[in-house]
Chain A
Amino acid sequence: MIHIITALVNNKPGVLARIIGLISGRGYNIESLDVAPTPQDHGVSRLIMSVPGDDRILDQVTKHLEKLVDVLEVTHITDKMTEQDKAAAKPEKKGRT
Chain B
Amino acid sequence: MKTGADCVMDGFKRAGVKTIFGLPGGAVLDLFSKLYHAPFEFILARHEQGAAHMADGYARATGQPGCCIVTSGPGATNTVTGLATAFADGVPMVCVSGQVPSSMIGNDAFQEADTTGITRGITKHNYLVARANDIPRIMAEAFHLAATGRQGPVLIDIPKDIQQAPVTATEPGPLHLPSYQPADDPDPARLQELADAIDRSRKPLLYVGGGVITGNASDELTALAHKARIPVTTTLMGLGAFPDTDPLALRMLGMHGSVAANRAVDHCDLLISVGARFDDRVTGKVSAFAVHAKKAHIDIDPSSINKNVVVDIAVVGHARNVLRKLSRAVKTADRSEWLGQLKQWQEKHPFAYDRRTAQVLPQYVIEQLYTVTGGEAIVATDVGQHQMWAAHFYRYTKPRTFLSSGGLGTMGYGLPAAIGAQAGFRDKVVVVIAGDGSIQMNFQELVVAVEHELPVKVVIINNGHLGMVRQWQELFYKKEYSASVLGRRGRTGMERIREPDRNGYLPDFIRLAEAHGAVGIRVKSKDEVAPALRLALETAGPVVVECIVKPDENVYPMVPPGAALADQAHGVTLV
- Expressed in whole angstroms, the Cα–Cα distance for A21 and B167 within the complex equals 33
Which residues of A (1-39) have their CB < 8 Å from a CB of B?
A: 10, 13-14, 17-18, 21, 25
B8 adjacent to chain A (CB < 8 Å): no
- Expressed in whole angstroms, the Cα–Cα distance for A92 and B180 within the complex equals 13
B426 adjacent to chain A (CB < 8 Å): no
A60 adjacent to chain B (CB < 8 Å): yes
Q: How far is the CB of B158 from chain A (nearest CB, A)?
A: 15
- Expressed in whole angstroms, the Cα–Cα distance for A37 and B190 within the complex equals 38
- Expressed in whole angstroms, the Cα–Cα distance for A71 and B178 within the complex equals 10
Stretch at the interface among B120-128, B266-274, B287-295, B523-531: B120-128
| Chain A residue contacts of B497, Cβ below 8 A | none
Of the residues A17, A64, A73, contact of B303 by C-beta under 8 Å = A64
B264 adjacent to chain A (CB < 8 Å): no
- Contact across chains for A69 and B145 when beta carbons are under 8 A apart: yes
When C-beta atoms are compared, the residue in chain A nearest to B182 turns out to be A95
- Contact across chains for B307 and A14 when beta carbons are under 8 A apart: no
When C-beta atoms are compared, the residue in chain A nearest to B183 turns out to be A95
B314 adjacent to chain A (CB < 8 Å): yes
B514 adjacent to chain A (CB < 8 Å): no
B376 adjacent to chain A (CB < 8 Å): no
Which residues of B (176-235) have their CB < 8 Å from a CB of A?
A: 177-183, 187, 190
A40 adjacent to chain B (CB < 8 Å): no
SS class, residues of chain A in contact with chain B: mixed
| Chain A residue contacts of B182, Cβ below 8 A | 95
- Contact across chains for B303 and A63 when beta carbons are under 8 A apart: yes
- Expressed in whole angstroms, the Cα–Cα distance for A43 and B183 within the complex equals 26
B302 adjacent to chain A (CB < 8 Å): yes
- Expressed in whole angstroms, the Cα–Cα distance for A10 and B176 within the complex equals 13
B117 adjacent to chain A (CB < 8 Å): yes
How many A residues touch B, CB cutoff 8 Å?
A: 21
- Expressed in whole angstroms, the Cα–Cα distance for A60 and B303 within the complex equals 7
- Contact across chains for B179 and A97 when beta carbons are under 8 A apart: no
- Contact across chains for B120 and A67 when beta carbons are under 8 A apart: no
- Contact across chains for A70 and B307 when beta carbons are under 8 A apart: no
B255 adjacent to chain A (CB < 8 Å): no
Q: How far is the CB of B549 from chain A (nearest CB, A)?
A: 40
- Expressed in whole angstroms, the Cα–Cα distance for A13 and B178 within the complex equals 18
Which residues of A (39-97) have their CB < 8 Å from a CB of B?
A: 60, 63-64, 66-73, 94-95, 97
- Expressed in whole angstroms, the Cα–Cα distance for A46 and B208 within the complex equals 39
- Contact across chains for B307 and A60 when beta carbons are under 8 A apart: yes
Q: How far is the CB of B118 from chain A (nearest CB, A)?
A: 11
| Chain A residue contacts of B150, Cβ below 8 A | 67
Most chain B CB within a 10 A radius of its CB, from A10, A69, A70, A73:
A69
With A17-B120, A97-B314 already in contact, the answer to whether A72 and B303 are too (CB < 8 A) is: no
- Contact across chains for B301 and A67 when beta carbons are under 8 A apart: yes
| Chain A residue contacts of B179, Cβ below 8 A | 10, 69-73, 94
- Expressed in whole angstroms, the Cα–Cα distance for A17 and B119 within the complex equals 12
- Expressed in whole angstroms, the Cα–Cα distance for A94 and B302 within the complex equals 10
| Chain A residue contacts of B180, Cβ below 8 A | 69, 94
Q: How far is the CB of B85 from chain A (nearest CB, A)?
A: 18
- Expressed in whole angstroms, the Cα–Cα distance for A13 and B150 within the complex equals 24
When C-beta atoms are compared, the residue in chain A nearest to B130 turns out to be A13
Q: How far is the CB of A31 from chain B (nearest CB, A)?
A: 22
Of the residues B117, B190, B303, contact of A67 by C-beta under 8 Å = B303
B116 adjacent to chain A (CB < 8 Å): yes
- Contact across chains for B145 and A95 when beta carbons are under 8 A apart: no
- Expressed in whole angstroms, the Cα–Cα distance for A21 and B118 within the complex equals 11
Of the residues A60, A68, A70, A95, contact of B181 by C-beta under 8 Å = A95
When C-beta atoms are compared, the residue in chain B nearest to A97 turns out to be B316
- Expressed in whole angstroms, the Cα–Cα distance for A55 and B155 within the complex equals 33
When C-beta atoms are compared, the residue in chain A nearest to B179 turns out to be A72
| Chain B residue contacts of A21, Cβ below 8 A | 120-121
When C-beta atoms are compared, the residue in chain A nearest to B116 turns out to be A14
- Contact across chains for B117 and A17 when beta carbons are under 8 A apart: yes
Q: How far is the CB of B265 from chain A (nearest CB, A)?
A: 23
Q: How far is the CB of A41 from chain B (nearest CB, A)?
A: 12
Q: How far is the CB of B39 from chain A (nearest CB, A)?
A: 30
| Chain B residue contacts of A69, Cβ below 8 A | 124-125, 145, 177, 179-180
When C-beta atoms are compared, the residue in chain B nearest to A64 turns out to be B303
| Chain A residue contacts of B126, Cβ below 8 A | 14
| Chain A residue contacts of B125, Cβ below 8 A | 68-69
Q: How far is the CB of A28 from chain B (nearest CB, A)?
A: 15
| Chain B residue contacts of A63, Cβ below 8 A | 302-303, 307
- Contact across chains for A14 and B145 when beta carbons are under 8 A apart: no
Q: How far is the CB of A70 from chain B (nearest CB, A)?
A: 7
- Expressed in whole angstroms, the Cα–Cα distance for A21 and B121 within the complex equals 7
Which residues of B (252-299) have their CB < 8 Å from a CB of A?
A: none
Binary interface profile of B, 113-143, with partner A (CB < 8 Å = 1, else 0)? 0001100110011101010000000000000
- Expressed in whole angstroms, the Cα–Cα distance for A14 and B115 within the complex equals 12
Binary interface profile of B, 154-179, with partner A (CB < 8 Å = 1, else 0)? 00000000000000000000000111
When C-beta atoms are compared, the residue in chain B nearest to A25 turns out to be B121
- Expressed in whole angstroms, the Cα–Cα distance for A60 and B278 within the complex equals 15
Q: How far is the CB of B165 from chain A (nearest CB, A)?
A: 18
| Chain B residue contacts of A97, Cβ below 8 A | 183, 187, 190, 302, 314, 316
Interface residues of A, Cβ cutoff 8 Å to B: 10, 13-14, 17-18, 21, 25, 60, 63-64, 66-73, 94-95, 97
Interface residues of B, Cβ cutoff 8 Å to A: 116-117, 120-121, 124-126, 128, 130, 145, 150, 177-183, 187, 190, 301-303, 307, 314, 316
Query: 30 A–B contact pairs at CB < 8 A?
Result: A13-B128, A14-B116, A14-B120, A14-B126, A14-B128, A18-B120, A21-B120, A21-B121, A63-B302, A64-B303, A66-B302, A66-B303, A67-B150, A67-B303, A68-B125, A69-B124, A69-B125, A69-B145, A69-B177, A69-B180, A70-B179, A71-B179, A72-B179, A73-B179, A94-B180, A95-B181, A95-B182, A95-B183, A97-B187, A97-B190
5 shortest interchain CB distances as A-B pairs:
A95-B181, A63-B303, A72-B179, A97-B316, A69-B125
Given A68-B125, A94-B181, 20 additional A-B pairs, CB 8 A? A10-B179, A14-B116, A14-B126, A14-B128, A18-B120, A25-B121, A60-B307, A64-B303, A66-B303, A67-B150, A67-B301, A67-B303, A69-B125, A72-B178, A73-B179, A94-B179, A94-B180, A95-B181, A95-B182, A97-B314
